């Protein structure tokens, strides 16, 4: 599905990202919002400043809020919304866990350091059913090498009061084979967000994969 071109504003990027999350085309979003595909394209690709009414319709069509599309709460941790009236807490099977895990993104890895346990966010990929991420040899996530770790990824939908989490437990190992390193570099979903020289690849071979999902009743 089409994402915004360079030059899009923050609002446009959030509209496009939310639309892709819901697996909607621009035409489908336009139909939901009672507008035209051209207007959706304008929102996504240019620094648009839509009227309150139009933005409310687009937000409703995306199952979110106008404030969220404007970036409200982006500096706060997720989950500040109210819980659903009758939520269901469901165990996810291995297939669903792996499907959600394979979407890539940012997860958290547990490590033991000289100062005590730590949980560090890393952006990761899934290659050959293993979780892989890149770090620097002297960075905190590098302490995971050679140990059994927990790796967690989750998603919270504030608008729907729903969410899910997947937990991977397994042994983390350095990837040192040059061919394997090249392959990971070529297939990684994203470079490390912190930037800089982060050439140490770690691979977590899952020993167990479990997950839970909260669904609004």
pLDDT in tens, 7-23: 557 888 889 988 998 89
What's the pLDDT tens digit per position in 105-157? 899 999 998 889 999 999 999 999 999 999 999 999 999 999 999 999 998 87
pLDDT at res. 74 = 61
**Phi, psi dihedrals of residue 81, rounded to the nearest 5°:** -70, 165
pLDDT band at 174 (very low <50, low <70, confident <90, very high): very high
* Domains delineated in the chain: 10-69 (1.10.260.40), 87-216 (2.30.110.10)
* Segment (H or E) for 74: none
Q: Is 60 helix (H, G, I), strand (E, B) or coil?
A: helix
Q: What CA dihedral angle connects 119, 123, 124 and 125, to 10 degrees? A: 160
Q: HEC string of 153-191?
A: EEEEECCCCEEEEEEEEEEEEEECCHHHHHHHHHHCCCC
Work out the percent of the chain whose per-residue pLDDT is above 70. Answer: 91
Rounded Cα gap, residues 39 and 30, in angstroms: 8
- Assess whether pLDDT exceeds 70 at residue 159: no
The two tokens of residue 90 are 């469901």
Block residue for tokens 């997947």: 166
The pTM is what?
Answer: 0.69
């Amino acid at each position: 599905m089409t994402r915004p071109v360079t030059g899009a504003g923050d609002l446009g990027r959030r509209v496009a990202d939310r639309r892709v999350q819901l697996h909607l085309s621009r035409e489908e979003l336009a139909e939901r919002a009672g507008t035209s595909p051209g207007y959706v394209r304008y929102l996504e690709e240019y620094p648009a400043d839509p009227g309150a009414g139009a933005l409310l319709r687009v937000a409703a069509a995306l199952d979110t809020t106008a404030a969220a599309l404007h970036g409200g709460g982006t500096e706060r941790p997720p989950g500040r919304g109210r819980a659903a009236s009758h939520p269901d807490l469901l165990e996810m099977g291995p297939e669903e866990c792996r499907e959600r895990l394979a979407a890539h993104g940012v997860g958290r890895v547990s490590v033991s350091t000289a100062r005590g346990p730590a949980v560090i966010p890393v952006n990761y990929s899934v290659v050959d059913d293993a979780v892989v991420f890149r770090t620097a040899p002297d960075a905190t996530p590098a302490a995971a090498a050679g140990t059994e770790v927990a790796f967690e990824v989750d998603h919270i939908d504030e608008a729907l009061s729903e969410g899910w989490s997947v937990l991977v437990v397994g042994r983390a190992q350095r990837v040192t084979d040059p061919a394997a390193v090249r392959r990971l570099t070529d297939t990684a979903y994203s470079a490390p967000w912190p930037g800089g020289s982060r050439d140490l690849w770690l691979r977590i071979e899952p020993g167990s994969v479990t997950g839970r999902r909260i669904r609004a009743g």
